[in-house]
Structure 1
């Protein structure tokens, strides 16, 4: 495979395509705001131990679901809300969360590697139980740039894209042309499949094969020097019926983006309100948690329309 962006920003680079987020790119992106309306693109995080909320939010099987502990009535980890000066009380809570496959998140460049090398030829042995000392999510920083919305489900005239339908370069190009937009360096491109809507009717079907972009579509986007690619499925790329990535390893979307180009992936987005707004260009804002050595971070991305 190619190592397309390795050493492009120096031997020690750990941010990848995020280096394209120059002040000029940010200032230009502000011009994408039309109405000043702000939309969250995140799934809710549910998971109180006293109910089954976490199971009702789209997620992949086999992942530890979010656990939200509350210190109010003694039902979780404390005896109750703390009294303050006899006239008020304070409730505390604790959250245990595995972002991959359970909620809206952004992948770090340390999330995937090949031949014992991370992005930019950093050694994969630096990713261990103590965290990733190379290419962790704490190296990314905030993303403020132009967002492009490619509503593939809407373009195809479907409530959601069928997993058998390939979202290839031709489809993305047609969708972009219909919306009157073209990716440019520094953009974040969000692709809507509509797949989260399937979960409400059939969690089992949601957790099987999923639609997503194929290798040709991924190449088209990274060749435009985008900073990140987001999707409302669980892996950005298509997922096979066995739960694994569709296609050969040489065409794996995670390797193409995270490993080869240093392009971050944003997964499990909620894009229904953005689709209803019908505005394909906007200001995109997202700040991952500075989790030292993390392979991902929960994320609440914002579209400023």
Structure 2
């Protein structure tokens, strides 16, 4: 049953796109003015690794999640199809890719990712999350995102390589970052938060897979009140993570429930933001297109910043 919770009912009783409805033609056209240099920066970490090598272990990921597996047929040794010759000396190789996006690679969460009280976003029934996919609020409902992006570089603002896991990123700190950068979130934006935490994995993978810094409830509350379309971050869950892998605070303070469930605001996790931070562009054109995975609870993707 649809009620007044967050954005429930705002775009109709059957809406499955949530805050993506804010991406009007005016919002997109105005975002184009954020481009100054015409330089394109990918914001994703690589997908690598296969049964024949340990590449996936070298990329930041959470423990207990199936790592991406990239199989190649070029040598005939990884999967049954084998390499094949097409004509004369011409050869052709094939790929097979298995990815579990959550916690293992750069991805965007669908509104079907979380639910409460047996309901998804907008009061839609959660019992439609089946073994063959989500029949409501799947990632294919989103479409593409083209809008203004804002970088709130928390690590840079604090003058550290990465935010300590015990540091709370609350609304006050985010507002300080925005003021320092000379930007203010507006309706339809994607706000990108840099913690610098991917750097930790290169130094100490075990530490990366413990507690992580992230947004506190007040920070998430401030951003949804600005009517952002999505919140992106370079940590594993946008919100903070406790040492045991859970989220701090009460259930009512959970960032995923606040954003995905109550407001239909999307979460992009595990971005790579180091080059964007070096470029020093707090405002840019943000582009992201999830795979059309019917009923998917997430999609791997490569967000782009055009500065």
TM-score range, shorter chain: over 0.9
Could you tell me the TM-score, scaled by structure 2's length? 0.98
Q: Helix, strand or coil: the match of 2:249?
A: coil
Equivalent residues in 2 for 1:223-242 (5 A)? 223-242=225-244
Structure 2, unaligned stretches of length 5 or more?
none
Q: 2:286 aligns with which of 270, 280, 284?
A: 284
Cα shift readout 1:93-145 (whole Å, capped 9, x = no counterpart): 10000000000000000000000000000000000111000000000000000
Q: For the residues of structure 2 that align with 1:149 and 1:244, how far apart are their CA atoms?
A: 26
Q: For the residues of structure 1 that align with 2:87 and 2:57, how far apart are their CA atoms?
A: 39
Could you tell me the TM-score, scaled by structure 1's length? 0.99
Cα shift readout 1:34-72 (whole Å, capped 9, x = no counterpart): 000000000000112211000000000000001111111
Q: 2:206 maps to what in 1?
A: 204
User: Which range is displaced more, 270-279 or 74-83?
Assistant: 74-83
Q: For the residues of structure 2 that align with 1:108 and 1:220, how far apart are their CA atoms?
A: 21
Equivalent residues in 2 for 1:117-266 (5 A)? 117-266=119-268
Q: 1:296 aligns with which of 284, 295, 298?
A: 298
Q: For the residues of structure 2 that align with 1:280 and 1:229, how far apart are their CA atoms?
A: 15
Aligned-residue offset at 1:73: 1.1
Task: Kindly report the root-mean-square deviation, in angstroms, between the aligned alpha carbons of the 2 structures.
Answer: 1.0
Q: Is the 8 A contact 1:16 1:262 kept in 2?
A: yes
Cα shift readout 1:203-261 (whole Å, capped 9, x = no counterpart): 10000000001000000000000000000000000000111111111100000000000
Q: For the residues of structure 2 that align with 1:104 and 1:174, how far apart are their CA atoms?
A: 27
Q: Helix, strand or coil: the match of 2:34?
A: coil
Q: 2:22 aligns with which of 20, 23, 26?
A: 20
Aligned-residue offset at 1:87: 2.8
Q: For the residues of structure 2 that align with 1:79 and 1:97, how far apart are their CA atoms?
A: 19
Q: 1:68 aligns with which of 67, 70, 82?
A: 70
Cα shift readout 1:9-58 (whole Å, capped 9, x = no counterpart): 00110000000000100000000000000000000001122110000000
Q: 2:36 aligns with which of 28, 34, 47?
A: 34
Q: Helix, strand or coil: the match of 1:31?
A: helix
Aligned-residue offset at 1:2: 7.0
Q: 2:80 maps to what in 1?
A: 78
Q: For the residues of structure 1 that align with 2:62 and 2:215, how far apart are their CA atoms?
A: 18
Q: How many residues align?
A: 305
Q: 1:272 maps to what in 2?
A: 274
Q: Is the 8 A contact 1:2 1:260 kept in 2?
A: no
Cα shift readout 1:172-214 (whole Å, capped 9, x = no counterpart): 0000000000000000000000000000111100000000010
Cα shift readout 1:238-295 (whole Å, capped 9, x = no counterpart): 0001111111111000000000000000000000000000000000000000000000
Q: Helix, strand or coil: the match of 2:175?
A: helix
Q: For the residues of structure 2 that align with 1:74 and 1:85, how far apart are their CA atoms?
A: 18
Q: 1:100 maps to what in 2?
A: 102
Aligned-residue offset at 1:81: 2.1
Q: For the residues of structure 1 that align with 2:110 and 2:269, how far apart are their CA atoms?
A: 12
Distance 1:22 1:73, change over 3 A: same
Distance 1:3 1:91, change over 3 A: same
Structure 1, unaligned stretches of length 5 or more?
none
Q: Is the 8 A contact 1:73 1:79 kept in 2?
A: no
Q: For the residues of structure 1 that align with 2:31 and 2:201, how far apart are their CA atoms?
A: 34
